Structure 1
Amino acid sequence: MSLQAKLDAFKADFQAGKPPYNVPRSVIETMHRATAELVASGAAQRALKAGDRIPAFTLVDPDGNAVSSASLLSKGPLVISFYRGVWCPYCNMELQALQEALPKFQELGASLIAISPQNPVNSRKSVRQNALSFPILSDPHNDVAAAFGLRFALPDYLVDLYKSLKNDLPAFNGDPSWTLPMPARFVVAEDGTILYAEVNPDYTRRPEPVDMLPALRRARSATPA
């Protein structure tokens, strides 16, 4: 089953209020409203695209080690996934799909990282729960996400909903700002040029990991022997 098929199946059960979710219709309508407004804002169109250069960054992994984009790119092409956090079931399914695809990326000389605003404690939880062998880097205040054009502030009514659901983003992220990144996936060449970009303001939609393989093959063919 494809990643999107799994996401669609989860979404159908969630929106139908099936156990264990039992979500009121008003909650679903509020989430739909927030997604529709983010789509209509055009924010995704302002994010970095194929052909752009990524901003240099240094973030910490779950063990507190500093990891720089320069060091990652010195080893070969890089796949970057921006995701919301361990609390998001759609994100967890995406991480699992990326883990399954990791050997294909490595065969093409590429490495994989995920970036989230959550703190290192929650990143360790993500790694453990999803059985990941690639690093999750913590992006305090979503500053790197902002440099990629992905950061957005949750509207007040969505903040109120999250609070009512005990989804305390400031606690997850160690940041009081109530911001998130739009889910996004990038393939980056060794010189920092983006070869593939997929940004979606609808968090229930994620690209398939195999969608990045053509860009990774181009990156490998362009690397001097």
Structure 2
Amino acid sequence: MTSTTTDQAATGPEDGSGDLAGRLAATVAHVRGIAPPDLFDVFAAEQRRLADAPEPPAQIRVGDRLPQSHLTDHAGRPVAVPGDGPAVLVFYRGAWCPYCDVALRAYQRELLPELTERGVRLVAISPQGPDGSLSAAEAAALTFPVLSDVGNGYARMLGLTFDLVPEVQEAQLAFGNDFTTINADGDWTLPRPTVVVADAHGVVRFVDVRPDYTERTEPAEVLAAVRALG
């Protein structure tokens, strides 16, 4: 499910120009301009709280080996993660999130060509069901796999999840985002936006977790990590 407000936020400032941080800052300004001030203040307080929270002790780190799992694509087909060979895993909140939309478009445009050339898989992972994955892929014209992590099972194993507190749940509902229908298992848990680069053996060589979900990993950082794989 994607709200009208989220659609406007996603399509307003995104023009493909500038670095990702600049486009995300424009998206924040756009959301501020169209959102009721009381709701925007709730989300801003959430961003500060998440940014100031201590790092979860189980969070994935460089040198760790990623667990093997199977997630489902938009058609419900199982996809091995991380699979065989090097991979870039992008954890995002969902198709309803304007900041995710901006980031996924950037990764499609600025990462995928070189990753494909180097034989590195790119996959995006969220707790949405297959319909939500399809919405994300179609909205951003993505040509890489967009997978459903039901119950945030894989993200939980990596220590990337957080629960939405009651006031944020109420604000999201007012914004048109009901996670009892958006998330595949109907809970109010999301992954922190994260990019993981793993080598051919599934060993993490780069990880960037963004507690503030209005920030995302720059494509240049990901490409540098991929090139370092050799």
Normalized against structure 1, the TM-score is what? 0.90
Deviation at 1:24, TM superposition (A): 2.0
Deviation at 1:3, TM superposition (A): 1.1
8 Å CA contact 1:4–1:205 kept in 2: the answer is yes
Kindly provide the amino acid, as one letter, of the partner of residue 39 in structure 1.
A
- Distance in 2, Cα, partners of 1:29 & 1:202: 14
* Other-structure match for 2:98: 89
Greater CA drift, 142-151 or 165-174: 165-174
Q: Secondary structure at the match of 1:43?
A: coil
- Distance in 2, Cα, partners of 1:133 & 1:175: 26
- Distance in 2, Cα, partners of 1:186 & 1:112: 10
Deviation at 1:214, TM superposition (A): 2.2
1:14 lines up with 2:35 in the alignment = no
* Other-structure match for 2:86: 77
The one-character-per-residue Cα deviations of 1:3-38 (angstroms, maximum 9, x if unpaired) are 1110111112222x2xxx2x2221121111112222
8 Å CA contact 2:92–2:126 kept in 1: the answer is yes
Greater CA drift, 135-144 or 207-216: 207-216
- Distance in 2, Cα, partners of 1:126 & 1:80: 16
* Other-structure match for 2:135: 125
8 Å CA contact 1:123–1:137 kept in 2: the answer is yes
1:186 lines up with 2:196 in the alignment = yes
The one-character-per-residue Cα deviations of 1:68-98 (angstroms, maximum 9, x if unpaired) are 126x3x2x21000000000001001111111
Q: Secondary structure at the match of 1:114?
A: strand
8 Å CA contact 1:142–1:151 kept in 2: the answer is yes
What is the aligned-residue identity percentage?
Answer: 36
From 61, 68, 74, the equivalent of 1:62 is 74
- Distance in 2, Cα, partners of 1:145 & 1:39: 18
Q: Which of structures 1 and 2 has the bigger CA Rg?
A: 1
8 Å CA contact 2:58–2:158 kept in 1: the answer is no
1:148 lines up with 2:165 in the alignment = no
The one-character-per-residue Cα deviations of 1:153-183 (angstroms, maximum 9, x if unpaired) are 1011111111122211111113232000000
Q: What RMSD over aligned residues (CA atoms) do the two structures have, in Å? A: 1.4
8 Å CA contact 1:127–1:133 kept in 2: the answer is yes
Where in structure 1 are there 5+ consecutive unaligned residues? none
* Other-structure match for 1:198: 208
8 Å CA contact 1:44–1:199 kept in 2: the answer is no
* Other-structure match for 2:186: 176
From 50, 53, 65, the equivalent of 2:62 is 50
- Distance in 2, Cα, partners of 1:97 & 1:174: 26
Deviation at 1:208, TM superposition (A): 1.0
8 Å CA contact 1:61–1:120 kept in 2: the answer is yes
Greater CA drift, 95-104 or 39-48: 39-48
* Other-structure match for 2:13: none
1:30 lines up with 2:42 in the alignment = yes
Q: Secondary structure at the match of 1:4?
A: helix
Normalized against structure 2, the TM-score is what? 0.88
